[in-house]
Structure 1
């Protein structure tokens, strides 16, 4: 029994994701596909356009055999936290033979070479990174520039055209791919990385076009046109039916739907004199700028744009907002990581003909396979329960906003049943 792992957001699931799943099974020879998927809040510091349960069902109806939720402290983290948390989840299941991710370059060997440099941090690279950061560059830009300088001096990489190398270290899926491999290296994991070259639209393409287009373009079309029909043909038919059923009932959800709730939290914390710099990704400087500019707040997206600077990226700011909203504190995340990232793997859904996977996880896995959160306190430590309660709160907040937006029923996260298809 061979199993290939995927790290995903599926926001929403589209034809490119279907292609990826099908090709990954071919090139790895896998019998099963296990997906570690972000819940209701994502790595860019925004809510998912639709809930995690519906996105898990989309995956299961299109080739996934098991869907596990990535805890929210990792799903909303930096590329490094996101990747290391997701890799830990796949590794601790005890069933994952390979990892397959999409990339712009399609070259796992090249990405592995870069990952080893970032994992080992040779002195020449560290010196270059310090200089770039001192010049006032944001960390992602500084790391990319320092890496380019270092690679240019290495004979192995000198054979690669400079523009191609720049694309490799700066394109978003390549960056995540490098982080995945770096996390595998640091864990000394036996999981073998594979990559598939992205086809169709680019990651940031905003206009919907072609059968395989970006998730960004699909979300933009739904935001601008507010008609579900505009995405038909750009997602698998099973996905379209799920979204059509949910449209204007619990979907679509956007960051500005959380504007009032975020402002309330910021006003409350400011009035109490709370130190929001304790939250993950919130530096002292950013915390001061948030409080000093709070009277200019009009919406989630407007405030993020207002605070964006050369030193702090838009994504870093939106991640900070989500961490403040959900009270995700850096000291707690460091505690989770120190205890090998997570005690449990919360199952969102599985295919009934893949039940052999569940038995193998129970035999080999080092994480508790969690199907009923209400009974979790029987098997988890206090630290594990702290992580789970954080996940449950995040889902309840998301579900509350969706219920208010569409005047629909609120569903308590503890009542949700695992999806079986």
Structure 2
């Protein structure tokens, strides 16, 4: 069974994702699709608008055969570690033949050329990258400019586009892992990453759709931009008070963490760097009003040097109680230590049977059966509990859902 891997967030799954899904199967000639999907919290340091099991159901209803959770240790990291964790998961299955990702360029050859030069990152390049980041550029923009300085002739503007940056890091991760997986890319269609305006009748970015939901509070507004399965899942989660989730749902537990810890204690959390612990403490007394507290805090903290994404990731690590030691390069560099299965189809069940002999790390389908779970899996379990704090009315089972929820089973 030929299998293609996808790396996704599906926040929410929309028609552009469906196009990518179809083209990935077509270009790879695959019979089955495995998706590595972020859990409750995402790469830009935000809570997912709906939880991981709901988005797993969206994926399965679209036609994905097996959904594997990208551990929280990787899912909210900058491109390098996000890509490394996701690619290591696909590689660890032992059944994935190709990886297909969307990009703005659609040019796999130029990305291969850069990856060949960059997979053994030098001290000189790291110095260039840190210089650009300290100038206040976003990670994709800083990485693009650093590569252009390091490798003359590279178009920094093109490389700075988010999907191109991620694609490059997927290729670098494949090389570092010495993976046999073949990378493929297709051009992103009609809506740019993070594009908030809608310019097509059927395809809009996930950013634009979230903006519509949060601003207009009307689920029907996005019906023409998402598959029917997505609408059904969103409607169910909305009615249950589990959607749409945003940072503001976690303002109180975040503030409790920020107020409870001293600057020295805050400095121990992952992503708290360069004296940000003092900047946080200085900003807290300036917060006013009962609403938009997280947004106000980010505005107070934001400078040219500290981008919104950097600050969101930092605040998320504080909310989740993630220390620098837990997420050190030596820990992350080992790759995913388990494959947490969130859902599968009948064909996905066949893949799981194959993976019992091919997978290079343990396969987890039932958390409650584990006597000694991986420390990274414990972080995923804790993230589920914290995510449930944002629900309109959370039950005890919501807080410990990882122990109760079996993999989602749907045959499209």
TM above 0.5? yes
Counterpart for residue 54 of structure 1: 54
Counterpart for residue 162 of structure 1: none
Counterpart for residue 38 of structure 1: 38
What is the alpha-carbon root mean square deviation over aligned residues? 2.1
Counterpart for residue 218 of structure 1: 209
Provide Cα deviations, 1:334-389, integer angstroms capped at 9, x if missing partner: 25325x223211100000233220011110111111011011225x4xxx1x2111
Alignment of 1:366-377 (within 5 A): 366-377=360-371
Q: Say whether 1:417 aligns with 2:406.
A: yes
Q: Say whether 1:336 aligns with 2:331.
A: yes
Equivalent residue of 1:332, what SS?
A: coil
Q: Say whether 1:149 aligns with 2:141.
A: no
Q: Tell me by how many angstroms 1:63 deviates.
A: 1.6
Gaps of 5+ in 2: none
In the alignment, the residues of structure 1 paired with residue 128 and residue 283 of structure 2 have an alpha-carbon distance, to the nearest angstrom, of 34
8 Å Cα contact 2:81/2:332 also seen in 1: no
In the alignment, the residues of structure 2 paired with residue 141 and residue 288 of structure 1 have an alpha-carbon distance, to the nearest angstrom, of 27
8 Å Cα contact 1:89/1:345 also seen in 2: yes
In the alignment, the residues of structure 1 paired with residue 28 and residue 139 of structure 2 have an alpha-carbon distance, to the nearest angstrom, of 34
Alignment of 1:178-193 (within 5 A): 178-193=168-183
Q: Which moved more, 1:117-126 or 1:77-86?
A: 117-126
Alignment of 1:295-374 (within 5 A): 295-298=285-288, 299-334=293-328, 335-338=330-333, 340-374=334-368
Equivalent residue of 2:180, what SS?
A: coil
Which of 253, 257, 277 matches 2:267? 277
Q: How has the CA–CA distance of structure 1 residues 141 and 20 changed in structure 2, closer, same or farther, with 3 Å as cutoff? A: closer
Counterpart for residue 72 of structure 2: 72
Q: How has the CA–CA distance of structure 1 residues 135 and 60 changed in structure 2, closer, same or farther, with 3 Å as cutoff? A: closer
Equivalent residue of 2:224, what SS?
A: coil
Equivalent residue of 2:371, what SS?
A: helix
Q: Say whether 1:288 aligns with 2:278.
A: yes
In the alignment, the residues of structure 1 paired with residue 278 and residue 141 of structure 2 have an alpha-carbon distance, to the nearest angstrom, of 23
8 Å Cα contact 1:207/1:220 also seen in 2: no
Q: Say whether 1:268 aligns with 2:260.
A: yes
Provide Cα deviations, 1:201-223, integer angstroms capped at 9, x if missing partner: 11121124420110000000000
Counterpart for residue 400 of structure 1: 389
8 Å Cα contact 1:18/1:62 also seen in 2: yes
Equivalent residue of 1:233, what SS?
A: helix
Counterpart for residue 247 of structure 2: 255
Equivalent residue of 2:193, what SS?
A: coil
Q: Tell me by how many angstroms 1:248 deviates.
A: 4.0
In the alignment, the residues of structure 1 paired with residue 278 and residue 302 of structure 2 have an alpha-carbon distance, to the nearest angstrom, of 14
Equivalent residue of 2:390, what SS?
A: helix
In the alignment, the residues of structure 2 paired with residue 41 and residue 132 of structure 1 have an alpha-carbon distance, to the nearest angstrom, of 27
Q: Which moved more, 1:53-62 or 1:293-302?
A: 293-302
8 Å Cα contact 1:138/1:311 also seen in 2: no
Q: How has the CA–CA distance of structure 1 residues 122 and 268 changed in structure 2, closer, same or farther, with 3 Å as cutoff? A: closer
8 Å Cα contact 1:68/1:349 also seen in 2: yes
Off by >6 Å, runs of 4+ in structure 1: none
Counterpart for residue 380 of structure 2: 391
Q: Tell me by how many angstroms 1:305 deviates.
A: 2.0
Q: Tell me by how many angstroms 1:129 deviates.
A: 4.2
In the alignment, the residues of structure 2 paired with residue 254 and residue 44 of structure 1 have an alpha-carbon distance, to the nearest angstrom, of 13
Q: Tell me by how many angstroms 1:280 deviates.
A: 1.5
State the number of aligned residues: 401
In the alignment, the residues of structure 2 paired with residue 28 and residue 97 of structure 1 have an alpha-carbon distance, to the nearest angstrom, of 9
8 Å Cα contact 1:336/1:342 also seen in 2: no
Q: How has the CA–CA distance of structure 1 residues 172 and 138 changed in structure 2, closer, same or farther, with 3 Å as cutoff? A: closer
Counterpart for residue 98 of structure 2: 98
8 Å Cα contact 2:141/2:156 also seen in 1: no
Provide Cα deviations, 1:230-269, integer angstroms capped at 9, x if missing partner: 0001000111111122224211111111111100111111
Provide Cα deviations, 1:56-87, integer angstroms capped at 9, x if missing partner: 01001112000011111111111111111111
8 Å Cα contact 1:399/1:410 also seen in 2: no
8 Å Cα contact 2:32/2:347 also seen in 1: no
Q: How has the CA–CA distance of structure 1 residues 98 and 276 changed in structure 2, closer, same or farther, with 3 Å as cutoff? A: same
In the alignment, the residues of structure 1 paired with residue 69 and residue 257 of structure 2 have an alpha-carbon distance, to the nearest angstrom, of 26
Counterpart for residue 168 of structure 1: 158
